[in-house]
C-alpha cells in the first residue's frame, strides 16, 4: 500500500478565468451588434414598404411627396384606418383626403364615407368596385399611355403640363354630372377625372406612378402631385389596412384559451431545458486510454476462403482438402511422412477393400465442375477418412 | 456548476402558482424566485476546490483480481462539503462504484474506497477526481475537477501456475530424490555407490569395481547421474505485429507470457538460470541474472506494460541478442508465430546461426478454430472455409518441418495447452540431457 503524492491542481477553470476568456468574444459580439444598429439607423431601409406609403423611402413609396408637402406647410396626416381618417378630418375644414386602397379592404359603405370625408378627395388607382361605390358614372378603361399631356383646365393638371409613368385610364359613361377630364390617351380615355358632386370635389387619379419616389421628379409629375394634394392646408393620407375590416365570426383559439396557458407552456419548456442540464452535465472530463489493437487470427483464413469462393477456385480448394486428407490417411495407414500419393492410395485401398481407381479418383483425379461437385467430393473425403479410421481401429 | 433533480422539480412546481394566479407575470416572478434560491444555494455550497486529495493504493495487482483503491479527501474549508465524488479511473480499470456520495464536515477527512477489477494488463491510471458540492437546499452544486494521478500496474495473471506442481513432481523424479525408480537419463556424473538389486546393469562401473575388488566378494559399484544443473535458458518473446493476433480471445503475446512464466518457474527450481528478453525491433523488456522468487516477480513486472507493436519482428538481431546474454550453450526458446512461409522467412534465415551453438525450441500458438473449421463441411461456404483452413494447416506444417530441418524443436498447441506443452518439452530435453 503506497500513498501517492498529492500533486494537486484544479483542472476546472474559475469563474473569473472563464469570464476573462469569454471577454474577447463578448466584446466582439457587442461591437457587431453596435455596428448593425448604426448601419440600420443610418442607411434606412431600401426595400419593402407598401406602395404609396408616405413613410416609405422605397422606390414605390411616396415619402418624397409627403415630405415636400410638409416643407410647404401642408399638415400631412397619415391614417391607416377609417376611424383615424375621420378623427384627422374632424374639426378641420380645409382638408384634402387621399384614398388609396389597392387591397380592397373597404366595403361600399366605408368607401362612400371615405369619399365624402372632406371637400376635396383624391382616389388613386380606383378599381371597378370602388368606382361603382363612389363614382358610378366613371368606368375603368385599362392602361393608358405613359406620356400624357394635361389638355384641360383643372388647375393642378394645367400646371403640370405633361406627366409620365405607368397610368390607368378612365372613361366617363354618364355626362349628366359635371366632370372634368385630363391626361387623355385618346378614345375618350383619361387618367384624371374630376367630379363635383354635393359640394365634394372628387378626383379619380390613374397616375399612380406620378406619386412614387421613383417617378415623381419625371416631367410634370411633381407639379401635379404637389398641386393636387397641397391645395388645402391639411392632407389626410389614408391607406386602408386590416384594421378597417370589420371582425366577425366565432372567437379565435387565442381568445378562448385562459391567460395562464402560455406561461405554463413556457415554464414546461424551461423545465425541459433544466432537466437536460441536470442529466447532461458531465461529471468531470473523460479519462483517455489507449486501446489495444484487436486482430482476430482467423481473419486471414476467412479471407482466403472468400477469395476461393469468389473466384470459384474449386480445384484449388479441393486440392487443399485432399492434401490434408492424404496426410491424415497416411498416418492412419501407418505410412511414413515421405510416402507418395500412390503408396497412400494403395494402402487405403488395402485397408478399406475398395477399388484402387475409385480411391485414386477421389483423392487425386476427379475435377469438380460445380460447387455441388465440390461439396459432394468433400463429403466423400470425410466418409473415406471415417471408414479408414474405423477399419484400422484394432 | 451543476443542478439537481430537485432543481428541476422546483421549476416545474411553478405550474401551480401560475395557474392559480392566472397572469403571465406569475411566470416571471416564479423564475426570479427559483433563480434567487439557486444562487443562494450556490453561494452557500462548500468549495470543492479547497479539498486536499491523496491516494492509497497497492503498486501492483494480478490481472483478474480485485484491489481496493482508497482516496482520502480532507476538507480544510469552513463549510461542509456535501455531494458526490467521482474517481477518474480509466475504463479498463473497472472502478466500482463509479461515483460515491460525499459528506465531509469542515476540517475533517473522509475516505472513499473504490474497488478496481482491471481487465487489461499494463499500467492503469487514474487521471483526476471530480467533486460536486451541493448547497444546503440541494438545488445547485459547485463542481471542480482536480488532477490527482494514480497508477497501478496490472501484472500478467500467470494462470498456468496450476500446471507447476505436476511438472515439479516430474522434475523430482528425474532428480532421483523420490522413491520412484526412473533411471536418471541426465548426463551429469554424480557419484559412485554400491550396486543394489534393481539397478540397471548397464550403469555398473567396471573399472571402479575392479579397483574396489576385495576378497569378501565382487562389491559391484554403479555410477549415478543427476540431471544437469546450472544450464542456461534464454527466452526470447516476439512482440511484433503477429503477436497481436487474438486466439480464443487471448493475444498471442499473453500466451507467450504464460508459457515463459511457467518455463521460468520450472527451470529456476530445476537449478537452471533463466534470462528473458522481449523484442521486436528494440528490446522492450529484459530480465537477466535474477534467480529464485525474484526472477518471477521481475518477469511479471517487466511483462506488464508490454503491448504488441504493429511492426515486423527483426530476427536478424536475435542471434546477437542471445550472444549478449550468454556465450555458452543454452536452451533458446523463441516464443513467436510460425503461420505462413512468408512471415516466417526472417526466423528461418537466422535459425542456423542459433542452432549451431544452442538448443532452440520454437513455441507457437495454433488456432483451434482452424482445426475445427476443417471438419465443418455442411454447405458450400463451409467447404471453402475448410479448404482455406486445410491450406493454413499445411502452411503451418511446412514451416514447422523447415524449422525442424534447421535443427530446432517445435512446440505448437492451443493457447490453453501451450504453457504445459512447452514445460513438457523442457522436461523431455532435460531428461535426455540435451540442455
Which chain B residues are Cβ-neighbours of A324 within 8 angstroms?
374, 390, 393-394
| Helix boundaries (H) for chain A | 15-43, 63-71, 82-89, 108-115, 128-134, 155-160, 221-229, 253-256, 261-280, 299-310, 314-332, 341-352, 356-360, 371-392
Q: Which of B31, B90, B145 sits opposite A285 (nearest CB)?
A: B145
Q: Which of B31, B92, B379 sits opposite A289 (nearest CB)?
A: B92
Return the pLDDT at A3.
Answer: 55
Do A220 and A306 share a structural domain? no
Q: Which residue has the higher pLDDT, A92 or A16?
A: A16
Report if residue B111 sits inside a domain: yes
Q: Which of A244, A263, A288 is the last residue of a domain?
A: A244
CA distance B177 to chain A (A): 39
Domain count, chain A: 2
From A197-211, B126-140, B206-220, B414-428, the region with the lowest mean pLDDT:
B206-220
Report if residue B169 sits inside a domain: no
CA distance B117 to chain A (A): 16
Return the pLDDT at B216.
Answer: 61
Contact at CB, A260 and B23, closer than 8 angstroms: yes
Report if residue B426 sits inside a domain: yes
Do B362 and B333 share a structural domain? yes
CA distance B276 to B347: 18
Contact at CB, B385 and A301, closer than 8 angstroms: yes
Contact at CB, B380 and A371, closer than 8 angstroms: yes
Do A220 and A80 share a structural domain? yes
- Does residue A376 register a pLDDT over 90? yes
Contact at CB, A300 and B308, closer than 8 angstroms: no
From A111-120, A271-280, B286-295, the region with the lowest mean pLDDT:
A111-120
Mean pLDDT of chain B: 89
Each residue's pLDDT tens digit, B202-218: 778 888 888 876 656 66
Report if residue A190 sits inside a domain: yes
**Mean predicted confidence (pLDDT) in A302-330:** 92
Structural domain span for residue B211: 189-226
Return the pLDDT at B403.
Answer: 95
Concatenate the DSSP letters of all residues of A25-37 into one string.
HHHHHHHHHHHHH
**Mean predicted confidence (pLDDT) in B145-174:** 90
Q: Which of B138, B155, B172 is the last residue of a domain?
A: B155
CA distance B322 to B285: 14
High-pLDDT (> 90) share of chain A, %? 27
Within a 10 A sphere around the Cβ of A291, how many other Cβ atoms? 8
> b/e map of A252-290 (b: 16 or more CB within 10 Å)?
eeeeeeeebeebbeebeebbeebbeebeeeebbeebeee
- Does residue B184 register a pLDDT over 60? no
Contact B354, B410 (CB under 8 A): no
Do B345 and B236 share a structural domain? yes
From A45-59, A338-352, B225-239, B395-409, the region with the lowest mean pLDDT:
A45-59
Do A327 and A205 share a structural domain? no
Q: Which residue has the higher pLDDT, B177 or B136?
A: B136
Q: Which CATH number characterizes residue B149's domain? A: 2.60.40.10
CA distance B393 to chain A (A): 8
Report if residue A12 sits inside a domain: no
Each residue's pLDDT tens digit, B105-120: 999 999 999 999 999 8
Do B134 and B17 share a structural domain? yes
Return the pLDDT at B330.
Answer: 93
Do B214 and B119 share a structural domain? no
Report if residue B161 sits inside a domain: no
**Mean predicted confidence (pLDDT) in A227-232:** 86
Do A239 and A304 share a structural domain? no
Contact at CB, A274 and B7, closer than 8 angstroms: yes
Q: Which residue has the higher pLDDT, B367 or B230?
A: B367
**Mean predicted confidence (pLDDT) in A341-347:** 91
Do A134 and A225 share a structural domain? yes
- Does residue B182 register a pLDDT over 60? no
Contact at CB, A320 and B58, closer than 8 angstroms: no
Do B412 and B329 share a structural domain? yes
Report if residue B167 sits inside a domain: no
Report if residue B164 sits inside a domain: no
Do B215 and B309 share a structural domain? no
Test the B interface: residue of A320, A338, A386 with most B CBs within 10 Å? A320
Do B382 and B269 share a structural domain? yes
Test the A interface: residue of B342, B391, B400 with most A CBs within 10 Å? B391
Return the pLDDT at A154.
Answer: 82
Return the pLDDT at A314.
Answer: 92
Do B250 and B216 share a structural domain? no
Do B194 and B114 share a structural domain? no
In this structure, what DSSP letter does residue B2 have? E
Return the pLDDT at A1.
Answer: 53
Return the pLDDT at B11.
Answer: 94
Test the B interface: residue of A7, A11, A276 with most B CBs within 10 Å? A11
- Does residue B254 register a pLDDT over 90? yes
Do B355 and B304 share a structural domain? yes
Return the pLDDT at B5.
Answer: 94
Return the pLDDT at A205.
Answer: 87
Contact at CB, A321 and B21, closer than 8 angstroms: no
Each residue's pLDDT tens digit, B74-105: 999 889 999 999 999 999 999 988 899 999 99
Closest residue of chain B to A289, computed from CA coordinates: B90
Return the pLDDT at B281.
Answer: 92
In the block, cell 492412419 appears at: A332
How sure is the predictor about A300, in pLDDT bands with cuts at 50, 70 and 90?
confident
**Mean predicted confidence (pLDDT) in A122-133:** 86
In whole angstroms, how far apart are CA A22 and each of A11, A25, B59, B145?
Answer: 18, 5, 43, 20
Mean pLDDT of chain A: 86
- Does residue A299 register a pLDDT over 50? yes
Do B401 and B252 share a structural domain? yes
How sure is the predictor about A129, in pLDDT bands with cuts at 50, 70 and 90?
confident
Q: Which of B173, B198, B226 is the last residue of a domain?
A: B226
From A215-229, A248-262, B13-27, B39-53, the region with the lowest mean pLDDT:
A248-262
Do A312 and A229 share a structural domain? no
* Nearest of A278, A293, A289, A294 to residue B95 by alpha carbon: A289
CA distance A362 to chain B (A): 16
Structural domain span for residue A127: 63-244
Q: Which of A10, A293, A298 sits opposite B49 (nearest CB)?
A: A10
Do A212 and A309 share a structural domain? no
Number of H helices, E strands in chain B: 12, 20
How sure is the predictor about A308, in pLDDT bands with cuts at 50, 70 and 90?
very high
**Mean predicted confidence (pLDDT) in A202-208:** 87
Return the pLDDT at B215.
Answer: 59
Report if residue A7 sits inside a domain: no
High-pLDDT (> 90) share of chain B, %? 66
Return the pLDDT at A221.
Answer: 87
Do B318 and B194 share a structural domain? no
Do A306 and A236 share a structural domain? no
Domain count, chain B: 3
CA distance B414 to chain A (A): 12
Do A326 and A240 share a structural domain? no
- Does residue A276 register a pLDDT over 80? yes
Contact at CB, A293 and B55, closer than 8 angstroms: no
Report if residue B183 sits inside a domain: no
Amino acid at each position: 500500500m503506497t500513498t501517492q503524492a498529492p500533486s494537486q491542481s484544479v483542472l476546472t477553470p474559475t469563474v473569473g478565468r472563464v469570464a476573462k476568456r469569454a471577454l474577447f468574444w463578448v466584446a466582439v459580439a457587442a461591437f457587431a451588434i453596435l455596428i448593425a444598429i448604426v448601419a440600420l439607423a443610418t442607411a434606412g431601409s431600401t426595400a419593402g414598404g407598401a406602395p404609396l406609403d408616405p413613410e416609405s423611402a422605397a422606390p414605390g413609396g411616396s415619402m418624397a411627396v409627403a415630405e415636400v408637402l410638409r416643407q410647404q406647410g401642408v399638415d400631412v396626416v397619415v391614417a391607416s384606418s377609417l376611424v383615424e381618417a375621420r378623427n384627422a378630418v374632424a374639426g378641420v375644414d380645409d382638408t384634402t383626403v387621399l384614398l388609396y386602397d389597392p387591397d380592397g379592404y373597404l366595403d361600399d359603405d366605408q368607401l362612400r364615407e371615405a369619399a365624402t370625408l372632406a371637400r376635396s378627395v383624391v382616389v388613386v388607382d380606383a378599381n371597378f368596385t370602388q368606382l361603382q361605390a363612389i363614382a358610378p358614372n366613371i368606368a375603368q378603361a385599362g392602361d393608358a399611355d405613359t406620356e400624357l399631356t394635361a389638355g384641360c383646365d383643372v388647375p393642378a393638371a394645367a400646371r403640370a403640363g405633361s406627366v409620365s409613368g405607368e397610368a390607368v385610364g378612365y372613361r366617363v359613361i354618364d355626362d349628366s354630372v359635371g366632370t372634368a377630364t385630363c391626361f387623355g390617351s385618346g378614345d375618350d380615355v383619361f387618367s384624371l377625372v374630376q367630379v363635383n358632386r354635393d359640394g365634394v370635389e372628387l378626383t379619380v387619379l390613374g397616375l399612380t406612378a406620378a406619386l412614387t419616389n421613383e417617378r415623381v421628379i419625371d416631367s410634370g409629375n411633381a407639379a401635379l402631385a404637389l398641386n393636387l394634394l397641397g391645395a388645402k392646408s391639411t392632407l389626410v393620407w389614408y391607406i386602408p389596412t386590416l384594421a378597417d375590416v370589420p371582425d366577425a365570426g366565432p372567437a379565435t383559439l387565442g381568445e378562448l384559451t385562459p391567460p395562464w396557458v402560455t406561461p405554463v407552456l413556457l415554464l414546461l419548456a424551461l423545465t425541459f431545458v433544466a432537466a437536460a442540464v441536470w442529466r447532461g452535465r458531465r461529471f468531470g472530463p473523460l479519462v483517455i486510454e489507449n486501446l489495444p489493437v484487436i486482430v482476430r487470427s482467423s481473419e486471414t483464413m476467412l479471407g482466403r476462403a472468400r477469395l476461393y469462393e469468389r473466384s470459384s477456385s474449386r480445384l484449388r480448394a479441393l486440392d487443399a482438402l485432399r492434401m490434408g486428407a492424404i496426410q491424415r490417411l497416411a498416418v492412419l495407414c501407418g505410412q511414413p511422412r515421405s510416402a507418395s500419393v500412390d503408396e497412400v492410395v494403395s494402402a487405403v485401398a488395402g485397408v478399406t477393400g475398395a477399388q484402387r481407381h475409385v480411391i485414386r479418383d477421389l483423392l487425386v483425379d476427379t475435377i469438380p465442375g460445380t460447387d455441388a461437385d465440390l461439396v459432394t467430393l468433400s463429403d466423400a473425403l470425410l466418409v473415406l477418412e471415417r471408414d479408414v479410421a474405423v477399419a484400422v481401429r484394432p | 456548476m451543476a443542478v439537481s433533480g430537485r432543481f428541476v422539480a422546483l421549476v416545474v412546481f411553478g405550474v401551480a402558482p401560475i395557474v392559480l394566479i392566472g397572469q403571465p407575470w406569475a411566470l416571471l416572478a416564479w423564475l426570479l424566485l427559483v433563480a434567487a434560491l439557486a444562487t443562494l444555494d450556490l453561494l452557500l455550497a462548500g468549495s470543492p476546490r479547497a479539498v486536499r486529495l491523496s491516494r492509497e493504493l497497492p503498486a501492483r495487482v494480478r490481472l483478474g483480481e480485485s484491489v481496493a483503491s482508497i482516496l482520502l479527501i480532507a476538507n480544510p474549508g469552513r463549510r461542509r462539503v456535501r455531494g458526490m465524488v467521482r474517481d477518474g479511473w480509466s475504463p479498463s480499470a473497472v472502478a466500482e462504484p463509479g461515483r460515491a456520495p460525499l459528506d465531509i464536515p469542515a476540517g475533517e477527512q473522509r475516505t472513499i474506497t473504490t474497488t478496481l477489477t482491471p481487465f487489461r494488463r499494463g499500467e492503469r491510471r487514474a487521471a483526476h477526481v471530480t467533486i460536486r458540492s451541493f448547497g444546503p437546499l440541494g438545488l445547485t452544486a459547485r463542481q471542480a475537477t482536480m488532477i490527482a494521478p494514480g497508477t497501478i500496474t496490472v501484472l500478467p495473471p500467470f494462470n498456468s501456475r496450476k500446471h507447476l506442481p505436476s511438472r515439479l513432481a516430474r522434475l523430482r523424479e528425474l532428480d532421483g530424490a523420490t522413491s520412484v525408480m526412473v533411471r536418471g537419463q541426465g548426463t551429469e556424473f554424480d557419484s559412485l555407490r554400491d550396486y543394489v538389486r534393481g539397478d540397471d546393469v548397464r550403469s555398473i562401473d567396471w573399472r571402479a569395481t575392479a579397483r574396489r575388488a576385495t576378497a569378501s566378494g565382487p562389491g559391484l559399484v554403479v555410477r549415478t547421474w543427476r540431471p544437469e544443473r546450472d544450464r542456461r535458458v534464454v527466452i526470447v518473446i516476439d512482440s511484433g505485429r503477429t503477436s497481436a493476433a487474438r486466439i480464443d480471445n487471448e493475444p498471442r503475446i499473453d500466451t507467450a507470457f504464460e508459457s515463459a512464466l511457467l518455463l521460468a518457474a520450472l527451470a529456476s527450481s530445476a537449478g537452471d538460470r533463466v534470462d528473458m528478453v522481449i523484442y521486436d525491433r528494440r528490446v522492450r523488456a529484459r530480465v537477466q541474472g535474477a534467480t529464485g522468487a525474484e526472477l518471477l516477480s521481475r518477469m511479471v513486472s517487466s511483462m506488464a506494460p508490454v503491448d504488441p507493436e504493429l511492426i515486423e519482428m527483426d530476427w536478424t538481431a536475435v542471434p546477437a541478442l542471445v550472444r549478449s546474454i550468454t556465450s555458452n550453450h543454452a536452451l533458446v526458446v523463441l516464443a513467436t508465430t510460425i503461420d505462413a512461409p512468408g512471415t516466417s522467412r526472417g526466423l528461418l534465415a537466422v535459425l542456423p546461426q542459433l542452432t549451431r551453438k544452442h538448443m532452440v525450441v520454437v513455441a507457437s500458438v495454433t488456432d483451434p478454430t482452424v482445426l475445427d473449421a476443417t471438419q465443418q463441411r455442411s454447405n458450400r461456404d463451409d467447404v471453402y472455409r475448410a479448404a482455406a483452413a486445410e491450406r493454413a494447416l499445411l502452411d503451418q506444417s511446412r514451416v514447422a518441418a523447415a524449422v525442424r530441418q534447421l535443427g530446432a524443436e517445435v512446440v505448437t498447441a492451443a493457447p490453453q495447452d501451450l504453457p504445459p506443452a512447452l514445460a513438457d518439452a523442457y522436461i523431455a530435453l532435460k531428461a535426455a540431457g540435451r540442455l
